Structure 1
Protein backbone atom coordinates (compact mmCIF):
# COMPACT_ATOMS: atom_id res chain seq x y z
CA UNK A 1 0.00 0.00 0.00
CA UNK A 2 1.38 3.44 -0.88
CA UNK A 3 1.50 6.46 1.38
CA UNK A 4 0.25 8.70 -1.45
CA UNK A 5 -2.85 10.68 -0.49
CA UNK A 6 -5.68 11.25 -2.91
CA UNK A 7 -6.33 14.68 -1.38
CA UNK A 8 -3.28 16.44 0.05
CA UNK A 9 -3.18 18.79 3.05
CA UNK A 10 -4.00 21.81 0.86
CA UNK A 11 -7.08 20.09 -0.59
CA UNK A 12 -5.62 19.33 -4.02
CA UNK A 13 -6.87 16.18 -5.68
CA UNK A 14 -4.22 13.70 -6.85
CA UNK A 15 -5.15 10.66 -8.91
CA UNK A 16 -3.25 8.83 -11.61
CA UNK A 17 -5.05 6.97 -14.36
CA UNK A 18 -3.77 3.65 -15.52
CA UNK A 19 -2.51 3.43 -19.08
CA UNK A 20 -5.23 2.45 -21.52
CA UNK A 21 -4.36 -0.74 -23.41
CA UNK A 22 -6.66 -1.57 -26.30
CA UNK A 23 -4.51 -4.37 -27.74
CA UNK A 24 -6.76 -7.07 -26.29
CA UNK A 25 -9.97 -5.65 -27.78
CA UNK A 26 -11.57 -8.21 -30.07
CA UNK A 27 -12.91 -7.33 -33.52
CA UNK A 28 -16.52 -7.68 -32.36
CA UNK A 29 -15.81 -5.06 -29.70
CA UNK A 30 -14.78 -2.53 -32.33
CA UNK A 31 -17.82 -3.36 -34.48
CA UNK A 32 -20.15 -2.97 -31.48
CA UNK A 33 -18.44 0.33 -30.64
CA UNK A 34 -18.99 1.61 -34.20
CA UNK A 35 -22.68 0.66 -34.08
CA UNK A 36 -22.93 2.25 -30.61
CA UNK A 37 -21.54 5.54 -31.97
CA UNK A 38 -23.98 5.38 -34.88
CA UNK A 39 -26.74 4.80 -32.32
CA UNK A 40 -25.58 7.83 -30.34
CA UNK A 41 -25.58 10.01 -33.45
CA UNK A 42 -29.04 8.74 -34.42
CA UNK A 43 -30.46 9.53 -30.99
CA UNK A 44 -28.76 12.95 -31.03
CA UNK A 45 -30.31 13.66 -34.43
CA UNK A 46 -33.67 12.54 -33.06
CA UNK A 47 -33.27 14.90 -30.08
CA UNK A 48 -32.36 17.85 -32.31
CA UNK A 49 -35.22 17.29 -34.74
CA UNK A 50 -37.77 16.73 -31.97
CA UNK A 51 -36.85 19.40 -29.41
CA UNK A 52 -34.91 22.00 -31.39
CA UNK A 53 -36.68 21.94 -34.75
CA UNK A 54 -40.02 20.71 -33.35
CA UNK A 55 -40.29 18.35 -36.34
CA UNK A 56 -39.29 14.85 -35.29
CA UNK A 57 -37.63 12.57 -37.82
CA UNK A 58 -39.82 9.48 -37.75
CA UNK A 59 -37.15 7.03 -38.94
CA UNK A 60 -34.81 7.64 -36.00
CA UNK A 61 -36.89 5.67 -33.48
CA UNK A 62 -36.90 2.53 -35.59
CA UNK A 63 -33.27 2.77 -36.69
CA UNK A 64 -32.10 3.40 -33.11
CA UNK A 65 -33.96 0.31 -31.92
CA UNK A 66 -32.27 -1.85 -34.56
CA UNK A 67 -28.87 -0.33 -33.83
CA UNK A 68 -29.34 -1.19 -30.16
CA UNK A 69 -30.11 -4.78 -31.15
CA UNK A 70 -26.84 -4.84 -33.11
CA UNK A 71 -24.88 -3.48 -30.16
CA UNK A 72 -26.34 -6.10 -27.82
CA UNK A 73 -25.94 -9.16 -30.04
CA UNK A 74 -22.50 -8.30 -31.40
CA UNK A 75 -21.30 -6.88 -28.08
CA UNK A 76 -22.33 -10.08 -26.29
CA UNK A 77 -19.37 -11.77 -27.99
CA UNK A 78 -17.12 -9.65 -25.75
CA UNK A 79 -18.59 -11.28 -22.65
CA UNK A 80 -18.25 -14.72 -24.20
CA UNK A 81 -14.62 -14.07 -25.17
CA UNK A 82 -13.83 -12.91 -21.63
CA UNK A 83 -15.84 -15.81 -20.16
CA UNK A 84 -17.84 -13.36 -18.03
CA UNK A 85 -21.15 -15.20 -18.02
CA UNK A 86 -23.05 -15.68 -14.79
CA UNK A 87 -21.92 -18.85 -13.11
CA UNK A 88 -22.58 -20.78 -9.94
CA UNK A 89 -19.35 -22.22 -8.64
CA UNK A 90 -20.70 -23.26 -5.23
CA UNK A 91 -21.18 -26.91 -6.24
CA UNK A 92 -17.73 -27.09 -7.82
CA UNK A 93 -16.17 -26.32 -4.43
CA UNK A 94 -17.88 -29.33 -2.83
CA UNK A 95 -17.62 -32.00 -5.53
CA UNK A 96 -14.64 -34.20 -6.34
CA UNK A 97 -12.19 -32.46 -8.71
CA UNK A 98 -12.61 -35.12 -11.42
CA UNK A 99 -16.39 -34.66 -11.44
CA UNK A 100 -15.94 -30.87 -11.48
CA UNK A 101 -13.61 -31.17 -14.46
CA UNK A 102 -16.15 -33.21 -16.44
CA UNK A 103 -19.00 -30.90 -15.45
CA UNK A 104 -16.92 -27.92 -16.58
CA UNK A 105 -16.24 -29.58 -19.93
CA UNK A 106 -19.97 -30.24 -20.23
CA UNK A 107 -20.68 -26.55 -19.66
CA UNK A 108 -18.21 -25.63 -22.42
CA UNK A 109 -19.83 -28.11 -24.84
CA UNK A 110 -23.38 -27.01 -23.96
CA UNK A 111 -22.46 -23.35 -24.43
CA UNK A 112 -21.03 -24.09 -27.88
CA UNK A 113 -24.08 -26.18 -28.83
CA UNK A 114 -26.44 -23.44 -27.64
CA UNK A 115 -24.79 -20.83 -29.87
CA UNK A 116 -24.62 -23.25 -32.82
CA UNK A 117 -28.36 -23.88 -32.40
CA UNK A 118 -28.98 -20.11 -32.27
CA UNK A 119 -27.01 -19.68 -35.53
CA UNK A 120 -28.94 -22.47 -37.24
CA UNK A 121 -32.35 -21.19 -36.07
CA UNK A 122 -31.50 -17.61 -37.09
CA UNK A 123 -30.51 -18.79 -40.58
CA UNK A 124 -33.72 -20.83 -40.83
CA UNK A 125 -35.81 -17.85 -39.77
CA UNK A 126 -34.04 -15.54 -42.22
CA UNK A 127 -34.60 -18.05 -45.04
CA UNK A 128 -38.26 -18.46 -44.14
CA UNK A 129 -39.12 -14.74 -44.10
CA UNK A 130 -36.82 -13.88 -47.02
CA UNK A 131 -37.02 -10.29 -48.17
CA UNK A 132 -40.80 -10.16 -47.78
CA UNK A 133 -40.67 -8.76 -44.25
CA UNK A 134 -39.79 -5.07 -44.33
CA UNK A 135 -39.05 -2.52 -41.64
CA UNK A 136 -42.00 -0.36 -40.65
CA UNK A 137 -40.81 3.12 -41.60
CA UNK A 138 -37.51 2.54 -43.40
CA UNK A 139 -38.03 0.55 -46.58
CA UNK A 140 -35.40 -2.10 -45.93
CA UNK A 141 -35.60 -5.85 -45.32
CA UNK A 142 -35.78 -7.03 -41.71
CA UNK A 143 -33.10 -9.58 -42.60
CA UNK A 144 -30.58 -6.76 -42.18
CA UNK A 145 -31.44 -6.71 -38.47
CA UNK A 146 -31.52 -10.50 -38.26
CA UNK A 147 -28.15 -10.53 -40.02
CA UNK A 148 -26.71 -8.53 -37.13
CA UNK A 149 -28.13 -11.13 -34.74
CA UNK A 150 -26.71 -13.93 -36.88
CA UNK A 151 -23.29 -12.31 -36.91
CA UNK A 152 -23.46 -11.93 -33.12
CA UNK A 153 -24.44 -15.57 -32.60
CA UNK A 154 -21.71 -16.75 -34.99
CA UNK A 155 -19.15 -14.62 -33.16
CA UNK A 156 -20.33 -16.00 -29.81
CA UNK A 157 -20.01 -19.53 -31.18
CA UNK A 158 -16.44 -18.88 -32.34
CA UNK A 159 -15.48 -17.24 -29.04
CA UNK A 160 -17.04 -20.14 -27.09
CA UNK A 161 -14.88 -22.58 -29.02
CA UNK A 162 -11.81 -20.48 -28.23
CA UNK A 163 -12.69 -20.36 -24.52
CA UNK A 164 -13.26 -24.13 -24.43
CA UNK A 165 -9.88 -24.71 -26.09
CA UNK A 166 -8.19 -22.58 -23.43
CA UNK A 167 -9.98 -24.49 -20.66
CA UNK A 168 -9.10 -27.87 -22.12
CA UNK A 169 -5.47 -26.94 -22.80
CA UNK A 170 -4.73 -25.67 -19.31
CA UNK A 171 -6.76 -28.40 -17.59
CA UNK A 172 -9.28 -26.29 -15.64
CA UNK A 173 -11.90 -23.60 -16.12
CA UNK A 174 -13.10 -20.61 -14.18
CA UNK A 175 -15.88 -22.77 -12.77
CA UNK A 176 -13.32 -24.98 -11.08
CA UNK A 177 -11.01 -22.15 -10.04
CA UNK A 178 -13.05 -18.92 -9.75
CA UNK A 179 -9.96 -16.90 -8.87
CA UNK A 180 -8.49 -17.60 -12.31
CA UNK A 181 -9.14 -15.86 -15.61
CA UNK A 182 -8.55 -16.64 -19.26
CA UNK A 183 -5.31 -14.66 -19.12
CA UNK A 184 -3.87 -17.27 -16.72
CA UNK A 185 -2.84 -19.68 -19.47
Structure 2
Protein backbone atom coordinates (compact mmCIF):
# COMPACT_ATOMS: atom_id res chain seq x y z
CA UNK A 1 0.00 0.00 0.00
CA UNK A 2 1.28 3.38 -0.95
CA UNK A 3 0.84 6.67 0.86
CA UNK A 4 -2.12 7.36 -1.41
CA UNK A 5 -3.97 4.28 -0.13
CA UNK A 6 -3.57 2.40 -3.40
CA UNK A 7 -1.88 -0.92 -3.94
CA UNK A 8 1.27 -0.59 -6.05
CA UNK A 9 2.83 -3.77 -7.40
CA UNK A 10 6.37 -3.66 -8.73
CA UNK A 11 8.29 -6.58 -10.11
CA UNK A 12 11.76 -7.22 -8.82
CA UNK A 13 14.58 -6.90 -11.29
CA UNK A 14 15.43 -10.25 -12.84
CA UNK A 15 19.11 -11.13 -12.56
CA UNK A 16 20.18 -14.16 -14.58
CA UNK A 17 23.91 -13.54 -14.20
CA UNK A 18 24.26 -16.26 -11.55
CA UNK A 19 22.62 -18.89 -13.77
CA UNK A 20 25.19 -21.61 -14.49
CA UNK A 21 26.00 -22.78 -18.02
CA UNK A 22 24.48 -26.19 -17.28
CA UNK A 23 21.13 -24.56 -16.62
CA UNK A 24 21.12 -22.84 -20.01
CA UNK A 25 22.07 -26.08 -21.76
CA UNK A 26 19.36 -28.01 -19.88
CA UNK A 27 16.84 -25.29 -20.78
CA UNK A 28 17.86 -25.60 -24.43
CA UNK A 29 17.36 -29.36 -24.40
CA UNK A 30 14.03 -28.88 -22.63
CA UNK A 31 12.80 -26.45 -25.30
CA UNK A 32 13.94 -28.79 -28.08
CA UNK A 33 12.07 -31.59 -26.32
CA UNK A 34 8.94 -29.43 -26.06
CA UNK A 35 9.09 -28.42 -29.72
CA UNK A 36 9.59 -32.04 -30.78
CA UNK A 37 6.62 -33.25 -28.74
CA UNK A 38 4.49 -30.36 -30.06
CA UNK A 39 5.44 -31.32 -33.62
CA UNK A 40 4.55 -34.92 -32.82
CA UNK A 41 1.16 -33.82 -31.47
CA UNK A 42 0.40 -31.74 -34.56
CA UNK A 43 1.40 -34.45 -37.01
CA UNK A 44 -0.46 -37.18 -35.13
CA UNK A 45 -3.71 -35.47 -34.12
CA UNK A 46 -4.07 -32.56 -36.53
CA UNK A 47 -2.58 -33.93 -39.74
CA UNK A 48 -3.36 -37.59 -38.93
CA UNK A 49 0.08 -38.54 -40.29
CA UNK A 50 2.42 -39.16 -37.35
CA UNK A 51 6.12 -38.40 -37.76
CA UNK A 52 7.93 -41.56 -36.68
CA UNK A 53 11.22 -39.90 -35.76
CA UNK A 54 9.74 -37.72 -33.02
CA UNK A 55 9.44 -40.55 -30.46
CA UNK A 56 13.13 -41.38 -30.67
CA UNK A 57 14.41 -37.81 -30.80
CA UNK A 58 12.16 -36.75 -27.90
CA UNK A 59 13.63 -39.57 -25.82
CA UNK A 60 17.15 -38.37 -26.56
CA UNK A 61 16.30 -34.75 -25.76
CA UNK A 62 14.88 -35.95 -22.44
CA UNK A 63 18.15 -37.78 -21.75
CA UNK A 64 20.06 -34.58 -22.54
CA UNK A 65 17.82 -32.57 -20.23
CA UNK A 66 18.33 -35.02 -17.36
CA UNK A 67 22.10 -35.36 -17.67
CA UNK A 68 22.78 -31.64 -17.99
CA UNK A 69 20.19 -30.81 -15.36
CA UNK A 70 21.76 -33.24 -12.89
CA UNK A 71 24.90 -31.10 -12.92
CA UNK A 72 22.79 -28.25 -11.51
CA UNK A 73 21.76 -30.49 -8.61
CA UNK A 74 25.41 -31.33 -7.94
CA UNK A 75 26.38 -27.64 -8.03
CA UNK A 76 23.61 -26.77 -5.58
CA UNK A 77 24.52 -29.84 -3.50
CA UNK A 78 20.85 -30.70 -3.10
CA UNK A 79 20.71 -34.31 -4.21
CA UNK A 80 19.19 -36.85 -1.84
CA UNK A 81 21.18 -37.21 1.36
CA UNK A 82 20.68 -38.74 4.77
CA UNK A 83 21.80 -36.57 7.64
CA UNK A 84 20.43 -38.70 10.50
CA UNK A 85 23.84 -39.83 11.77
CA UNK A 86 25.26 -36.32 11.51
CA UNK A 87 22.85 -35.22 14.24
CA UNK A 88 24.04 -37.87 16.69
CA UNK A 89 27.75 -38.41 16.02
CA UNK A 90 30.58 -36.23 17.36
CA UNK A 91 31.47 -33.21 15.22
CA UNK A 92 34.95 -34.53 14.32
CA UNK A 93 33.48 -37.79 13.02
CA UNK A 94 30.88 -35.87 11.02
CA UNK A 95 33.54 -33.69 9.43
CA UNK A 96 35.50 -36.74 8.24
CA UNK A 97 32.34 -38.48 7.05
CA UNK A 98 31.31 -35.45 5.01
CA UNK A 99 34.78 -35.31 3.45
CA UNK A 100 34.48 -39.00 2.62
CA UNK A 101 31.12 -38.31 0.96
CA UNK A 102 32.75 -35.58 -1.17
CA UNK A 103 35.62 -37.91 -2.18
CA UNK A 104 33.24 -40.78 -2.99
CA UNK A 105 31.05 -38.46 -5.08
CA UNK A 106 34.09 -37.33 -7.07
CA UNK A 107 35.21 -40.95 -7.51
CA UNK A 108 31.73 -41.99 -8.66
CA UNK A 109 31.46 -39.28 -11.30
CA UNK A 110 35.05 -39.91 -12.39
CA UNK A 111 34.22 -43.58 -12.88
CA UNK A 112 31.03 -42.63 -14.75
CA UNK A 113 33.05 -40.43 -17.13
CA UNK A 114 35.57 -43.22 -17.75
CA UNK A 115 32.93 -45.91 -18.26
CA UNK A 116 30.87 -43.74 -20.59
CA UNK A 117 33.97 -42.99 -22.68
CA UNK A 118 34.75 -46.72 -22.84
CA UNK A 119 31.21 -47.50 -23.93
CA UNK A 120 31.41 -44.83 -26.64
CA UNK A 121 34.60 -46.40 -27.97
CA UNK A 122 33.00 -49.86 -28.07
CA UNK A 123 29.83 -48.64 -29.79
CA UNK A 124 31.96 -46.95 -32.45
CA UNK A 125 29.56 -46.91 -35.45
CA UNK A 126 26.23 -47.81 -33.82
CA UNK A 127 23.33 -45.84 -35.31
CA UNK A 128 20.01 -44.66 -33.94
CA UNK A 129 17.00 -46.84 -34.73
CA UNK A 130 14.93 -44.53 -36.93
CA UNK A 131 17.08 -41.44 -37.49
CA UNK A 132 20.35 -42.21 -39.26
CA UNK A 133 22.65 -40.53 -36.73
CA UNK A 134 25.37 -42.03 -34.55
CA UNK A 135 24.33 -43.12 -31.05
CA UNK A 136 27.55 -41.58 -29.76
CA UNK A 137 25.83 -38.19 -30.06
CA UNK A 138 23.51 -39.25 -27.25
CA UNK A 139 26.28 -40.86 -25.22
CA UNK A 140 28.46 -37.79 -25.81
CA UNK A 141 25.81 -35.67 -24.09
CA UNK A 142 25.80 -38.17 -21.21
CA UNK A 143 29.60 -37.98 -21.07
CA UNK A 144 29.53 -34.17 -20.97
CA UNK A 145 26.84 -34.32 -18.26
CA UNK A 146 28.95 -36.67 -16.15
CA UNK A 147 32.02 -34.49 -16.75
CA UNK A 148 30.08 -31.41 -15.61
CA UNK A 149 28.92 -33.33 -12.51
CA UNK A 150 32.54 -34.33 -11.83
CA UNK A 151 33.76 -30.75 -12.17
CA UNK A 152 30.95 -29.47 -9.95
CA UNK A 153 31.72 -32.17 -7.36
CA UNK A 154 35.31 -30.99 -7.16
CA UNK A 155 34.08 -27.41 -6.81
CA UNK A 156 31.63 -28.42 -4.05
CA UNK A 157 34.41 -30.18 -2.15
CA UNK A 158 36.62 -27.07 -2.42
CA UNK A 159 33.79 -24.95 -1.02
CA UNK A 160 33.29 -27.40 1.85
CA UNK A 161 37.01 -27.43 2.66
CA UNK A 162 37.27 -23.65 2.48
CA UNK A 163 34.38 -22.94 4.83
CA UNK A 164 35.11 -25.90 7.13
CA UNK A 165 31.75 -27.66 7.01
CA UNK A 166 29.31 -29.22 4.55
CA UNK A 167 25.55 -29.19 4.28
CA UNK A 168 25.55 -32.64 5.89
CA UNK A 169 27.03 -31.17 9.06
CA UNK A 170 24.83 -28.07 8.98
CA UNK A 171 21.61 -28.86 7.11
CA UNK A 172 20.41 -25.27 7.37
CA UNK A 173 23.29 -24.08 5.14
CA UNK A 174 23.33 -23.92 1.36
CA UNK A 175 26.03 -23.67 -1.30
CA UNK A 176 25.39 -19.91 -1.46
CA UNK A 177 26.53 -19.54 2.17
CA UNK A 178 30.16 -18.45 2.19
CA UNK A 179 32.59 -18.66 5.06
Q: Match of 1:32?
A: 26
Mapped partners of 2:92, 2:24: distance in 1: 39
Q: Match of 1:54?
A: 48
Mapped partners of 2:101, 2:16: distance in 1: 29
What TM-score, normalized by structure 1, do the two folds share?
0.90
Q: CA deviation at 1:14?
A: 8.5
The structure 2 residue matched to 1:154, chosen from 144, 147, 152, is 147
Uncovered stretches (5+) of structure 2, i.e. residues with no partner: 2-6
Mapped partners of 2:31, 2:78: distance in 1: 24
What TM-score, normalized by structure 2, do the two folds share?
0.92
- Structure 1 residues 91, 15: closer, same or farther in 2, change over 3 A? farther
Cα RMSD for the two superposed structures = 1.5
The structure 2 residue matched to 1:63, chosen from 57, 65, 86, is 57
Q: Match of 2:83?
A: 89
Runs of 4+ with >2 A deviation: 13-21
Q: How many residues align?
A: 173
Mapped partners of 1:108, 1:67: distance in 2: 30
Q: Match of 1:137?
A: 130
Q: CA deviation at 1:21?
A: 2.6
- Structure 1 residues 94, 29: closer, same or farther in 2, change over 3 A? same
Mapped partners of 1:137, 1:52: distance in 2: 22
Of the structure 1 ranges 14-23 and 28-37, higher mean CA displacement relative to structure 2 is found in 14-23
Summarize deviations over 1:18-62 as a string: whole Å, max 9, x none: 543322111011011011111111111111101110000100110
Summarize deviations over 1:46-87 as a string: whole Å, max 9, x none: 111011100001001100000000000011000000001111
Q: Match of 2:39?
A: 45
